[in-house]
Amino acid sequence: MEHLQYQLKLLQEKLGGDIEVDLSLTSIPLIKYRIPSSPNPFIAQSCDLDCYSFDALGTPPCKWNNEINQPCNPNCGDSLDFVRAKNSWGPKQSSLIFGTDETASKYYIIAGTDIKMRPDSSAMLVSNPIQCQEGDGEFIFKYWTSPGVSIQICTRRFGAPIKEFSWCSGNVTIGDPGPINLMIPGSIMYNFEIVLLAKGFNFDAFGARGGIAIIDDIIYKASSVQNCANIPHVDPPPTLPKETCHQLTCQFEETDECSESIKYSGFWRHTDESPLGNLHTGIRTPYKGSFIYARGPGTKSYSIRSVNINRQISFEFCLYAPGEGANLEIWGTIPDSNGTLLFSTDNVEHSNHIWTCQRLVFYPNNYTSIEFKAKKLPNKFTYVGLDGFKIVDPVTQQNLCDT
């Protein structure tokens, strides 16, 4: 107890502000310990694990516990405890220690030391047991970590050894204070616990040692935690690279990055609402603003080069091809292969003076080029217009590059 009091006083001094931790011997501000011989009851619904006040007087009890401390023989079990604190720490100290001046304002829990500990030393917060998890779950929390300290969320079969985990997330180290939303893959068809693991209290540089972890606003979501159906986990598709979004999402306005590539193509950019060409074979109205166009005679090309598509996408584009002979082809080329024809206007009605939007499915690959080719335009009165480049999910139809 004396060692704990000493460590907490040092943390108060280091964090500054109005932070309060009750250090009296009669009121120990520890989150209660997990007792293996007398296990806590199973939760009835996922929100039972939501925790905002951490057992503060007069608030709903939190169904979380400190893990039992164990020595490092042969390896470290749990070495530090989470302690409830309240009020904000200093914003200046927060920026220096956590890289953000945002602080918690009410109750939260803190674990830390100014002693360089072993690399495998940790502070562990353990949930009440859960009967099962139907499908994927969500775990959301706010966090502040000093340099070197990281947070992991793990699942552990009920009754398993302290650090025998079934699954763990990656290390949460940056982005303080969040909140961060982590997926717990399911379904989990056995009794288990969720473990919040803070580790990396072995910093020793620039006159600082040890480390600090602060946790707040814990939320757990799952469709069911009792009598669960076995819904298989499906990994979500990867996020598209930002550069791919810049390349394939375009309204051809002045500020659009993709507008730069028009300068080196056979297409031109039109920026006002005035018509182009004559009433029969010209472009009478814009789609939604600026657009690009090709004008005959001959074949004119616009290429987007080095496009990394790392998941299946649906590429939407809008076309204006009013006159006979106003033909457009779209070609895709991948390394070590000839180009593949992806789209042709052979089946498009040319007499309608309207913009028509089309969609192409692209499969994962590194495309050396995606080429838009206004092909064999017969004369100078022939126009082809393009606009409204957009990428959507082929299944959900959600915009994948919505900024």
Is the model's pLDDT at 257 over the cut of 70? yes
SS3 262: helix
2-221: in CATH 3.40.50.11930:
no
- Residue 331: predicted pLDDT: 93
- Residue 256: predicted pLDDT: 82
SS3 14: helix
- Residue 26: predicted pLDDT: 41
SS3 248: helix
- Residue 316: predicted pLDDT: 94
Mean pLDDT estimate for the chain: 86
What are the pLDDT digits (tens) for 186-218?
Answer: 899 999 999 999 998 887 766 677 889 999 999
- Residue 142: predicted pLDDT: 94
Ranked by mean pLDDT, which of 188-197, 252-261, 343-352 comes out on top? 188-197
SS3 7: helix
What does R_g of the chain's alpha carbons equal in angstroms? 30
Same CATH fold assignment for domains 2-221 and 242-392: yes
Task: Give the pair of three-digit tokens for residue 235.
Answer: 């990994």
Q: What are phi and psi of 392, to 5 degrees?
A: -130, 160
Q: Could you tell me which residues come within 8 angstroms of residue 283 by beta carbon, excluding any fewer than 6 positions away?
A: 270, 275, 276, 277, 291, 293, 320, 322, 383, 385
Name the burial class of residue 209, with classes exposed (0-12), middle (13-18) and buried (19+) by CB atoms within 10 angstroms of its CB: middle
Pairing between β-strand 64-66 and β-strand 83-86 as defined by DSSP bridges: unpaired
Is the model's pLDDT at 29 over the cut of 50? no
- Residue 25: predicted pLDDT: 41
The C-alpha angle with vertex 148 and arms to 146 and 153, in degrees rounded to 5, equals 85
- Flag the least confident range among 27-41, 73-87, 264-278: 27-41
Cα–Cα distances (Å) from 332 to 211, 305, 337, 364, 373, in that order, read 52, 10, 10, 12, 11
SS3 217: strand
Q: Which CATH class is domain 242-392?
A: mainly beta
Q: What is the mean pLDDT of residues 332-341?
A: 87
Confidence of residue 165 (pLDDT cuts 50, 70, 90): very high
Quote the pTM value. 0.63
Q: How far is C-alpha 127 from the geometric centre of its chain's CA atoms?
A: 24
- Identify which has the larger pLDDT, 17 or 21: 17
Is the model's pLDDT at 349 over the cut of 80? no
100, 177 Cβ separation under 8 angstroms:
yes
Closest CA to 329 of 352, 355, 308, 360: 360
Q: What is the mean pLDDT of residues 224-243?
A: 90
Task: Give the pair of three-digit tokens for residue 93.
Answer: 């100290």
Q: What is the mean pLDDT of residues 369-374?
A: 94
- Identify which has the larger pLDDT, 272 or 306: 306
Hey, where are the domains in the chain?
A: 2-221, 242-392
Measured between alpha carbons, how far is 199 from 326 in angstroms, rounded to an integer? 64
Measured between alpha carbons, how far is 365 from 168 in angstroms, rounded to an integer? 30
223, 233 Cβ separation under 8 angstroms:
no
